[in-house]
Amino acid sequence: MQNYIITEEQINKAEELGACEESLEWLRKKPRTWLQLAEFSPGWIFWDSEKTKFCPSDVLDQIAKHVDWWIRKEAARHSNTSGETLRYLSNDVDAMIVSLVGCNPNTPIEILTKFSNHTDWNVRKHLASNASSPLEILEKLSNDNDVFVRTYVARNNNASLEILEKLSKDSDYAVRCSVASNKNTSEEIMKSLSKDLSSWVRSSTARYCSKEILETLVDDIDSCVRNAALDNLSITSEMLLKLMEDKDLSVREFAYRRYYYAIF
C-alpha cells in the first residue's frame, strides 16, 4: 500500500480554497500522509471531497478500516471512495456510517437495493437523497411510512413525474413543500400546489414557481406566502411595485430592498 505524502502543490491549492489555518500550519511543519491528516483533522477529508478530491481511493480504503468510527465516516462519504470499500462499510457497526454509505453516489446498486429494506429510517432517508438511487428504489421509498424518507424522495431530482404527482398529494405538508422545490416538478403540479391549504406549501411554491403562477401568489391572503414570492428569481418589477404597497410591513420592506438594491 503506497504511503501517499501530501504535496506542497496540494497544500497551496487547499489554501486558495479557504482551508483552515491550523491544518495548513500543521501540514507545512513536515511531510504528512493522508492517513495522518485523517487522524489529525477528519473533517478535512470531507472538505477534500467537496473541494479538491485529492485524497487517493486506496488511502480511503485504509481510512475505512480505521478503529475510530469518527475517522471511518470520512471514507463513507468521500466522493473518491470505491464501490468495494463502500460495500465493506455497508456492514459497519456504526449506524451513521451505514447511513452515509446510503447517500454516497458510488455505492453499488445491490447495496442501495438492500438498504431500501433497512429497518433504520435514517438509512432509508439517506438512500432517498442519493443522486444514484434508481427509479425503482425511489418509487418504493415514496410509499415509506416515515415522513422524512418521503420528503427526501420528493427532493431527489431523479424522482419521476409520477412520483412527484403522488407526493404532491401526500398527507404531510413537508413532503408537499419538497415537491414544490424539486426542479422537475411540472407546471400542472405547481399550479395545484399554489392552491394548497397549507401556507407552508404555498410559500415553497412561491419561491420556485413560474412567473405565471407567481402572479397569483403575490396576492395570497397569507403574508408569509407573499414574502416567499420575493425570493423568486422570476418576480417582475410590476409585482415588486405591488408588494411595496403591501399591508404587511415586512413584505413592503423586503420588496423595497429587492426593487432598489436587487437583494435576494
> What are the backbone angles phi and psi of residue 5, rounded to the nearest 5°?
-95, 135
Whole-number Å distance between alpha carbons of 155 and 182: 5
> Does 38 reside within a domain?
yes
> Does 63 reside within a domain?
yes
pTM of the model: 0.89
> Does 168 reside within a domain?
no
> Does 260 reside within a domain?
no
- In order along its 264 residues, the chain shows pLDDT tens digits of 456 899 999 999 999 999 989 999 999 999 999 999 999 999 999 899 989 899 999 999 999 999 999 999 999 999 999 999 999 999 999 999 999 999 999 999 999 999 999 999 999 999 999 999 999 999 999 999 999 999 999 999 999 999 999 999 999 999 999 999 999 999 999 999 999 999 999 999 999 999 999 999 999 999 999 999 999 999 999 999 999 999 999 999 999 999 998 765
DSSP-assigned states of every residue in 162-188: HHHHHHTT-SSHHHHHHHHH-TT--HH
> What are the backbone angles phi and psi of residue 248, rounded to the nearest 5°?
-95, 130
> Does 244 reside within a domain?
no
**What pLDDT, on a 0 to 100 scale, did the predictor assign at position 16?**
93
Structural domain for 1, as ranges = 1-82
> Does 77 reside within a domain?
yes
The closest of 66, 24, 65 to 44, measured between CA atoms, is 24
**What pLDDT, on a 0 to 100 scale, did the predictor assign at position 1?**
44
Q: How far is CA 87 from CA 73, 98, 129, in A?
A: 13, 10, 18
Q: How many domains does the chain have?
A: 1
> Does 37 reside within a domain?
yes
> Does 132 reside within a domain?
no
